[in-house]
Amino acid sequence: MKKHDYSLRILPYIPFFYVIWSDDLLSASETNVVRKAIENDDTLTKEDVKLLSGWLQRDNPPADSELKGWKHLVHNSEVKLIESDTYPLSSLSQRMASYYQSDDTFNEQLKQIEINLGIQPNHYNHLFDVEVEHETTSDHYNAKELDLILKGKHAALIDRFRTDLDDPLFTWDIHRNKEAFREIVLKQVRFLAERGYGALAYPEAYGGTADMEGYAYMFENMMYVDGSLTIKFGVQFGLFGGSIQKLGTEKHHDTYLKETGEANLLGCFAMTETGHGSNVRGVKTTATYDAESDQIIIHTPGANDNKEYIGNALHSKMASVFAQLIVDGKNQGVHAILVPLRNEQHELMPGVKIEDNGYKLGLNGVDNGKIWFNQVAVPRANLLNKYGDIRDDGSYHSAIKNPNKRFFTMLGTLVGGRICVARAGLGGAKMALAVAIKHALKRRQFNDSIKIQEDLLMDYPTHQLRLTPLVANAYVYHVTLDKMMEDYCDESQPDKRVIETQVAGLKSIITWYANDTIQECREACGGKGYLIENRIADLKGDVDIFTTFEGDNTVLLLLAAKGVLSDFKAEFNSAGFSAVLKLLGSQLSDKLATINPLYANKVDSEHLYNQKFHKHAFDYRTRRLTYTLAMRIRSYIKKGMPSYQAFMKVQTHLIALGKAYAAELAYTTYCDYVEAMPDGKNKTLFEKLGALHALYEIRKDAEWFLEQGYIGGTKSKAIRQRVERLCTELRPHLGVLVDGWGIPDHCLSAPIAN
């Protein structure tokens, strides 16, 4: 192909048309994008426009010989594809045209095509067979700005905390001996306590600043150091100390809280039992009040009624023990009692038996153990009595008369722990993504020419697709967890039932996301990801359990779904269900109209990238699942089935609703946040991340949306293509996006990340 075969005005369009037809980027709905650009180019003649328009016919594509001619035209110009250019393909096209016609005028219409079609040709060097100036990441965005946005009002605290983590005590290492590992982690916990981080969420009178929101950030950042540190820190100050703070009263605070925050009093949180798992209300450990001695007797009645998986069990001197409180022969339900485990010489107290859980899949720096109690007597004052008390006359009293409401109110005060676990899981996912992406921005593999250096892993579309949506998810979940903790700490909203339902769902989907992400990162790093020195292997073991503790994810999703169904009431009965159903019907039935076929197959980019479409899709799924679930339960109850059995019959439906509810909550929370951001390039970036997150989530559940007729096959395909295209668009900025999480260099110790 010779240069004079085309007019000099058409030359800049040649690389675009070659990319379009080689990669099949041109869908029917996007033909107008290119046609509009051509029509707006006043440098083109009518003949030029006619020729270019002829190349836009999908039913009559250019011949192979013409495609080869276009490729040679670009190759013979000896231009480079420079990835750091703001508009790489437009710049290449302009340089090629300049080679033939010595004209440096930039064609703005080419830029519009590149933007609107989402072309980021960082893997097109093989198409053109030209030299590529590779880049690891662009400088269009500033990682420090992104970090500052994410830290928000907690910036000073987080920066100070990250600086303190630079102490040699926190240098990551491979630990083979669990006893030695546990001692290191204990020293790390004490170190952080000395600097005030343990007491951060406690009132000022007890050494803290009442900053529960800031406290939650510690969990994400501690995961950059080690999972065992994160969990032991949480057990000591969040679970043990939190139970004293949230379930106790002033006498308990004065006696124990300051000592706990300083790690002078080490404690554990003894709730879970071997035989009863997530069924906290069904624990068998008893706490029987003996009026004659004015003591509470703690006892393990059966072989499988011991407390198990209790973190800090081997280092603790005291435990918050959850047991059935029996007063004057009547069971008043589960309450928490402070029980001494060891004396000042660290010897077990009479009647207390503790065993090590031994080696685990991960978190071997945490001293998990089993605890049995054999008629262990403690003073009546050790009852954490905020919601239920034993008076001086030996009678039981609670301001909350309903036992069920009292139980859920008590557990609701501990919801903050679930937010912290989700935050820790997110930190693990961010750490794994940082390692995997930094590796992929350096590691090269394969090409089709011995003359050209191998391609970066991150330049492969498959690699982009497996990691980029996970980065977008991390940004969405970060913002969502910030909002959840802010709402949890809002004292103007004392009823925590709403936030409990929200957190139950979010904790589940985010910790599952964390595990899936870490596994994907491990595979994306190949054999290097399997080496312990590169941190991902440890993250796999440590984060795995996050799906189980602080509430098993499946059980929590059932809780979330029931909250949606019952207006956040904990239980149903057949009499009350009709009223609930009536409420649901009025709210939902009028919003489930048949989807217009035109809407179901609407595929233009403006629609698919629009928040209104994403929100409508998530809202439709939640409402549809809620309504159909209510119908199913009503049908079973009408047939005489007890409500408990009716719920058993629809458990899989409940799980689907729980996931849908949590996904919608996360996205709408993120959208609200982005809407409030000041206009500018960072807001645009966050909007693009939100679009990728939403389309990726819809794509993952495409089966359901297709079954319901909400989307058609054409739209499903378009969503898949848009996800892939957004991944390519974000490719130049991935390095900045992971640096925007602010993981300190001294924590990012994986060799493949450096």
The catalytic site residues sit at 550
Phi, psi of 332 (to 5 degrees): -95, 10
- CA atoms within a 13 Å half-sphere pointing along the CA-CB vector of 73: 30
Q: Which of 80, 79, 77, 91 is nearest to 16 (CA)?
A: 91
What does the alpha-carbon distance between residue 615 and residue 355 come to, in Å, rounded to a whole number?
Answer: 50
Q: Say if strands 80-82 and 131-133 run parallel, antiparallel, or are unpaired.
A: parallel
What gap in Å lies between CA 514 and CA 246, rounded to an integer? 29
**Both tokens of residue 359?**
């080696």
Task: Determine the angle formed by the axes of helices 88-101 and 64-76, rounding to 10 degrees.
Answer: 80
Task: Identify the sign of the CA torsion 146, 152, 155, 161.
Answer: negative
d(CA 124, CA 598): 35
Residue 327, φ and ψ in degrees, nearest 5? -125, 125
d(CA 645, CA 710): 31
Q: Residues 276, 484, 212, CA angle at the centre, nearest 5°?
A: 85
User: How far, in Å, CA of 433 to CA of 336, rounded?
Assistant: 40
DSSP track, 388-454 = -EE-TTS-EE-S---HHHHHHHHHHTTHHHHHHHHHHHHHHHHHHHHHHHHHHTT-B---S-TTSPP
- The residues near 168 (Cβ < 8 Å, ≥ 6 apart) are none
Residues 6 or more apart in contact with residue 713 via CB below 8 angstroms: 706
E-only strand ranges, 283-411:
286-290, 295-299, 307-310, 318-327, 330-340, 352-356, 369-373, 376-379, 389-390, 396-397
